[in-house]
Structure 1
Amino acid sequence: MFTRFRLNQLSTRSQLFLAIAGSSLLLVVLILLSMRWLFIQNFTQYLAEQERNRLQQVAEVLSEYYGQYERRQLTSDVPEHELWRVILSDIQRDVWLEPERFNLDPDLSFEELNFVTDSGELIFGPRIEDAVSQLVLFEGQVLGILSTPIPRGAVAPIDAVYAQNQQQALLYAGGAAVVLAALVAFLFANGLRRRLQSLRHSTEALAAGDASTRFSQEGMDDVAQLGRTLNKLAATLAANEYQRREFMADIAHELRTPLTVLQGELEAIEDGVRKPELPVIQRLQAQAKQLTRLVQDLDTLAQADLGGLNYRWESFDLNALTVEVSESYHDAAQAKGLSLRIVASQKPLTFYGDPERLRQVLANVLTNSIRYTDAPGTVDIHISTNETWIRVQVDDSAPSVSTDQLPRIFDRFYRVQSDRARHTGGSGLGLALVERIVRAHEGRVKATASALGGLCIIIELPRQFGGKPEHG
């Protein structure tokens, strides 16, 4: 707990540096220990091989002197123990008198050696548990085993110097590796710190409301991916801010016209220019109704955006509901000079949802089509289904909507032609409400070009919604 607390007090650069440098230091120490162990093992083998070579020289001398006694037929007359003591005495004497005759190490001491005959009798030297051994042979016959302790350190001064130099080299290499690892860790941590600081500064600017800030996207690591994600967030916030300002401007624009009319009429009455007669009152009432309808639509849309719109879920026949709503618009279509045609399903389409909200959806779509279709024209309603979706398609004839305007059909206050909805009594919020209500039913809605020459609105609702399977 204490260590974690202390680490949390350090900067990211310091934590990264400690993590990388500490890991590198641990790795270097492990490598150095492994190399030192391998060096000791190999150096011990090297010393053992040197001892084996020295034993080979002694074994050859012992074999040579034994051969001399064998040729003089003295080996059978003298006990084995005494024979080897005599041979050893002769060798030591001759080595001292004529050292140039023998290829022996001048530092060799026979007292350090151990010689056991083939019969197992110890001739000279101490008992040795861990030893380097060499057979003593004469004409293929094993005379005995010559042994010396396995060396644990440098025997010769030159070997000691070599071992010391190697260990110093390992220490220097380890120190250099630690310094290099620390340098690399510092550079890496410092570079990452700069990138994180850039992210922090940009995030602070974003939090302060500057949605134009952008983050570095170089590389494919997590920091770069975080930068790209934050860029998407910044773009979304910028778009939302633009939509918010546009929405506020649209609301002000929508309210300005009826309020201006109301103010003008009231000032005219106040100045005595007009009398509060029935036509004037009717105009005032029409503007008040338009304001009321706009406020109601805004309130409904706000509740839908916040998820606060109330829904009453129940099972009902969506086919019958669509036919009922469509037939209620026959008179309005005929008054506009339009032909309203309905192609319904041949069987009931049971759906689990809110019938009143979906009635509002159908009414908004039909109102939009009738309002903006030129006479003489046609409005077609087609109801179909498959195993997954119930589909309601509303087509109307000219005028058409350009391809670049289709994605914005469901935006709040969006009008294909300037002031068109306002002059025909619309608030510009009908299709925006349609999209949100359909989405609340886990459905989807889209606008495309109609084969009749106008606009086509397609509403698709899932046949299985709210945890209840639909039948039809």
Structure 2
Amino acid sequence: MAVLVAGVVMAGLARQSARNVLQQSLAAQADVIAGQVDERGLGPRAAGLGRVAQVVRGQGIVVVLNLPKRGIQSNDPRSTQAATAAGLGDAGGAQRISAQVQVDGSDYLVEARGLSDASGFALVEPVHLAAGTWRILVRNILLALGTGLLVAALAGALLGRLLGRPLRRTADVAAAMRQGRRDLRAPVEGPVEVAEVAAAVNELSIALQHSEARQREFLLSVSHELRTPLAAVHGFAESLADGVATDPRHAGQVIQQESQRLDRLVSDLLDLARIGADQFQLDLARVDLRETLAAGAEVWRVRCDRQGVRFRLDLPPVPAVTTTDPRRIRQVLDGLAENALRVTPAGAQLTLSLTRLQNAVQLQVRDGGPGLAPEDYAVAFRPGVLNQKYRGRRPVGSGIGLALAHGLVTRLGGTLAAGPAPEGGAAFTITLPAT
């Protein structure tokens, strides 16, 4: 495209350059003729000017005269019109006129010279290139265009090969990733932009590999959590169906408890899937969190007593008011307390505390269990991470609860952080803006 545009521009410039050369040649001849005319006008030298006119007529040039009382005249009407259009009638007093005019669709070059007695003359030449000259010009332009197109094609082919090879390899890697391959890497080579694309595809492949690995681990932990209550339900249901259950009431209670556990697990999974969606329901209201914490403490005090765990509730003396969803806050507290009680041994302490800060309120669930390693705090809220690490070493849940709690608190405009607790175990801190 650039070569073609250059060719069009080149043709126009060549044509204009040819006109300029003809104009300059015509102007030089007009200056020579004007120098041969007597200062008193055309009269004494008119015959000599006529001989000059005969000479230049052989070059395709017409001499148009502007004589006093006789006006503009020549032996070519079109040349007379061109000279008139260029302003020969107003030329006088050694005035010079250079113009390009059009008469009946034809272009003419005009060089007019004024004389001291309000007379003057003009040299008029039609603008045309000889057939041979025009063919040479067109041939040269086409040769330049052909050379430019050939160079452009070679450069384009070389550049396309340079860019296309690494891009094709990157595309092949992307196609393999679409089929499920995660072990391939695109070669980071070629121009900077192409290398950046390959590096981005490689980073995407690594990220997908890690994400899918986490998903598999999460599914494994969820499957493990589902298998235990399902096995209990299946076993006791079989014993009831076969009539071999020694205590049908106890079997029914176990089935009920395990089905409730399954229901909670499924509900947590659904909440975790919906928490990022716009339709996730929140019922916001101004709440004094002292009341929410006190209501939850009644339940957890009883459960701690059953397991021999000491329970403590710390409430501030002043209201701790915030705008939040009390049902979701209670859900988060119950989930954190459930995890804490699971790992707290008999005789240790589980603490629920509420603190009123200047512009925020803080709720904490602290336990006296084995705690977490320092590197666990940063990944504690990723689904299934702690379950994968501590399964078989201590009582663990599905790994969904912490992820769900983090998502809920974030959706409510707060933060949830993990850290060490003064009781010796782990502390989970919820921070919400105060109202």
TM norm. shorter chain > 0.5: yes
Contact 1:336 1:370 in 2 (8 A): no
**Larger of the two Rg values belongs to structure:** 1
1:170 matched to 2:141: yes
Match of 1:304 among 271, 283, 290: 271
CA distance in 2, matches of 1:262, 1:85: 132
CA distance in 2, matches of 1:432, 1:111: 96
1:385-434 Cα shifts (integer Å, max 9, x gaps): 665x6532233456442221123323337246443543xx8555443442
1:46 matched to 2:18: no
CA distance in 2, matches of 1:291, 1:110: 114
1:292-346 Cα shifts (integer Å, max 9, x gaps): 4653343122212332998673635433112221354335556645452413361
Match of 2:176 among 200, 205, 214: 205
CA distance in 2, matches of 1:258, 1:122: 118
1:112 matched to 2:62: yes
Q: Which amino acid aligns with 1:329?
A: W
1:246 matched to 2:199: no
Q: Which amino acid aligns with 1:37?
A: G
Could you tell me which residue of structure 2 aligns to residue 145 of structure 1?
120
Could you tell me which residue of structure 2 aligns to residue 132 of structure 1?
111
Contact 2:309 2:344 in 1 (8 A): no
CA distance in 1, matches of 2:63, 2:25: 14
Which residues in structure 2 correspond to 1:3-402 (within 5 Å)? 24=1, 27-63=2-38, 83-88=44-49, 112-117=62-67, 126=76, 127=80, 129-130=82-83, 131-135=110-114, 141=116, 144-154=119-129, 164-187=135-158, 197-215=168-186, 221=193, 231=202, 233-251=204-222, 253-254=224-225, 291-292=258-259, 294-307=261-274, 313=283, 315=285, 316-333=287-304, 336=308, 338=310, 340-344=312-316, 346-347=318-319, 349-353=321-325, 355=327, 357-373=328-344, 375-377=347-349, 379=351, 381-384=353-356, 390-397=361-368, 399-402=370-373
CA displacement at 1:149 relative to structure 2: 0.7
Contact 1:118 1:144 in 2 (8 A): yes
Contact 2:61 2:123 in 1 (8 A): no
CA displacement at 1:250 relative to structure 2: 2.9
Contact 1:364 1:431 in 2 (8 A): yes
1:260-301 Cα shifts (integer Å, max 9, x gaps): 89999999xxxxxxx9777x997x889767754653343122
CA distance in 1, matches of 2:253, 2:195: 57
**Structure 2: unaligned runs, 5 residues or longer:** 84-109, 239-243
CA distance in 2, matches of 1:122, 1:399: 118
Could you tell me which residue of structure 2 aligns to residue 11 of structure 1?
none
Q: Secondary structure at the match of 1:313?
A: coil
Q: 1:360 to 1:44 in 2, by over 3 A?
A: closer
CA distance in 2, matches of 1:30, 1:442: 60
Contact 1:55 1:134 in 2 (8 A): yes
Q: Which amino acid aligns with 2:13?
A: L
CA displacement at 1:150 relative to structure 2: 3.2
Q: 1:179 to 1:50 in 2, by over 3 A?
A: same
Could you tell me which residue of structure 1 aligns to residue 87 of structure 2?
none
CA distance in 2, matches of 1:257, 1:111: 112
Could you tell me which residue of structure 2 aligns to residue 446 of structure 1?
417
CA distance in 2, matches of 1:382, 1:42: 91
1:7-38 Cα shifts (integer Å, max 9, x gaps): xxxxxxxxxxxxxxxxx1xx444433333222
Identity of counterpart residues, as a percentage?
19
What is the RMSD computed on CA atoms of the aligned residues?
A: 4.8
Q: 1:413 to 1:40 in 2, by over 3 A?
A: closer
Q: 1:294 to 1:332 in 2, by over 3 A?
A: closer
1:46-83 Cα shifts (integer Å, max 9, x gaps): 112212222333333343xx8xxx9xxxx9xxxx75x4
Q: Secondary structure at the match of 1:129?
A: helix
Aligned length: 393
Q: 1:29 to 1:376 in 2, by over 3 A?
A: closer
Q: Secondary structure at the match of 2:425?
A: strand
Q: Which amino acid aligns with 1:414?
A: L
Q: With structure 1 as the length reference, what TM-score do the two structures score?
A: 0.64
Q: Which amino acid aligns with 1:383?
A: T
CA displacement at 1:207 relative to structure 2: 2.9
